[in-house]
Amino acid sequence: MATTCTINITFTDDTTTNQQKWITFSEKHPNYPDWGETVLVCDDKSNIFIARHLFGEFGVKWYNETNFECIKSSIVAWMPLPKPYEVD
């Protein structure tokens, strides 16, 4: 039996008042992250995954970093991972 976990995430940058923004895809400007870079992705059902994309013979595939399974839903946006927490 598969277990599903839903996480609501809001990221802010302490140095500015701006929130990190999702980067969307389009046919003309796909705006992919760097090859193999681990990022947050959002699918067409508003599920969020920590994932990386890899190019293969069938095009771009997204892989879940938790279990390295191919994400079968349609990825519509991504954003860089937040910077790690640092103790002052």
Range list of β-strands (E), the chain: 23-24, 38-43, 48-56, 59-64, 75-80
Quote the pLDDT of residue 41: 93
Summarize the confidence of residues 52-74 as an average pLDDT.
84
Quote the pLDDT of residue 19: 64
Tell me: the pLDDT tens digits for 13-59? 444 544 678 999 776 666 788 888 899 999 999 999 999 988 767 77
Domain assignments of the chain as residue spans, ordered by start: 25-80
- If phi > 0 it is left, if psi is from -120 to 50 it is alpha, else beta; for residue 36 that is left
The more confidently predicted of residues 62 and 59 is 62
pTM score of the predicted model: 0.67
